[in-house]
Structure 1
Amino acid sequence: MKKVFVLAFLLVGLIGFHTQAQDEAAEEITDEELAKFAAMEDSVMAFYEQKNEELVSMIKDNEVIDGAARYNEIKDAWDDEEKMAEIEVTDEEKGAYEAIMEFMGSLSNEVRDLKIGLIKNDDVLGVATYNKVNKAIKENPEIKEKVDTLIAELKEKRSTESAEGEADASE
């Protein structure tokens, strides 16, 4: 749930770039600008999904914690020394849990840094284009719907390519 909140927080507009740019409200937004914005958002989402898979694997395949059930036990007891003693959390398990928590904490920073980098990169999107499209999304439901549709198409394409790649690898 925390991961979903972090992602939603990032995607809703954690990054508020402000430039001394012109009033862009009256400017038309091109299909190319929408496509660049959607591609940037999809890239961030793909990166987040990849890192989230690493996190899930880190929990499920952890030899010290021995899987998600034990991880959840430790998580539920983490801030309560009595509960920690009751479920007999070892120092090794504490260390493994802390490593997972550290990875989780770094995940939101990595996603944010990636998004900022893509936005600042004029070859990818550019701050002015980001501000222009982001403002339009907030003000115009039709623009938001277009961008959401483009992002969904990119995600579907990524999923299809991923499935094809997995099928090719298993042959």
Structure 2
Amino acid sequence: MFKAMTKKAKLMLMLAFVASLSLQSSFAQDADAVTDEELTQYATVMNKIDSMKEDLQVRYNEVIKNNELMDEGRRFLELKKAWGDDAKLAEISATDEEKAAYQGILDEYDNMVAEFKEVYPNLIKDDLGAALYNKVRNAMKSDTELKTKYDELLASMQSTDEGDSETDAGGSN
């Protein structure tokens, strides 16, 4: 049947086929398009995760500052620079007690990070689901407009959170 067709008919058939493929592709893209609701869900979860990261950093800094041997962080930084090099530790006169305290801080930080790494994927799984998380994340890689919209949404959420925490702090006086 294909041999009996004229060149013009074959060309028309090919064009129709290509058009149907591109139509299917655009329908598939529309079906896979990230909705505003999905983007908001994603941003909400990522905002929670960013907040958890900030809390982890604050807790870590408090552990350092609250350790008497770390001189509010100054000695910690000296030990950090020399850590792993016995000659440098001797050069800064690091005591066994300071080394033990420094190692204790590192261990506590490792525990905080492990706790975060345990909670982080569960938060994504429970609040978003892996499919939605991957859909939005992958869409933002190729869609700069969507990424910009996400960044603006996240910034808005973060500024709202900061306003809420300032209000909370001001209200407790």
* Count of paired positions: 146
Shift, 1:26, TM fit: 4.9
3-state SS in 1 of match to 2:71: coil
Tell me the equivalent position of 1:75. Answer: 80
Q: Alpha-carbon deviations, 1:12-48, whole Å to 9, x = none? A: xxxxxxxxxxx87851211110011001110000011
Residues 1:43 and 2:48 aligned together? yes
Shift, 1:51, TM fit: 1.1
Structure 2: which amino acid aligns with 1:87? I
Residues 1:110 and 2:108 aligned together? no
**For the residues of structure 1 that align with 2:171 and 2:163, how far apart are their CA atoms?**
12
Runs of at least 5 residues in structure 1 that lack an aligned partner in the other structure: 1-22
Shift, 1:147, TM fit: 1.0
Structure of larger gyration radius = 2
Residues 1:97 and 2:102 aligned together? yes
Output aligned runs, 1:12-91, within 5 Å.
26-91=31-96
**For the residues of structure 2 that align with 1:143 and 1:111, how far apart are their CA atoms?**
28
Percent identity of paired positions between Structure 1 and Structure 2: 35
**For the residues of structure 2 that align with 1:142 and 1:111, how far apart are their CA atoms?**
31
Residues 1:128 and 2:153 aligned together? no
Does structure 2 conserve the Cα–Cα contact (< 8 Å) formed by 1:24 and 1:132? no
Shift, 1:115, TM fit: 2.3
- Give TM-score scaled by structure 1 length: 0.78
- Give TM-score scaled by structure 2 length: 0.78
Tell me the equivalent position of 2:5. Answer: none
Change (3 A) 1:24 1:92: farther
**For the residues of structure 2 that align with 1:164 and 1:141, how far apart are their CA atoms?**
34
Q: RMSD between aligned alpha carbons?
A: 1.8
Runs of at least 5 residues in structure 2 that lack an aligned partner in the other structure: 1-27
Q: Alpha-carbon deviations, 1:113-160, whole Å to 9, x = none? A: 322111211xx1111111110110101001111111111111111100
Greater RCO (CA < 8 Å, at least 6 residues apart)? 1
Shift, 1:62, TM fit: 1.2
Structure 1: which amino acid aligns with 2:166? A
Structure 2: which amino acid aligns with 1:133? V
3-state SS in 2 of match to 1:29: coil
Structure 1: which amino acid aligns with 2:141? K
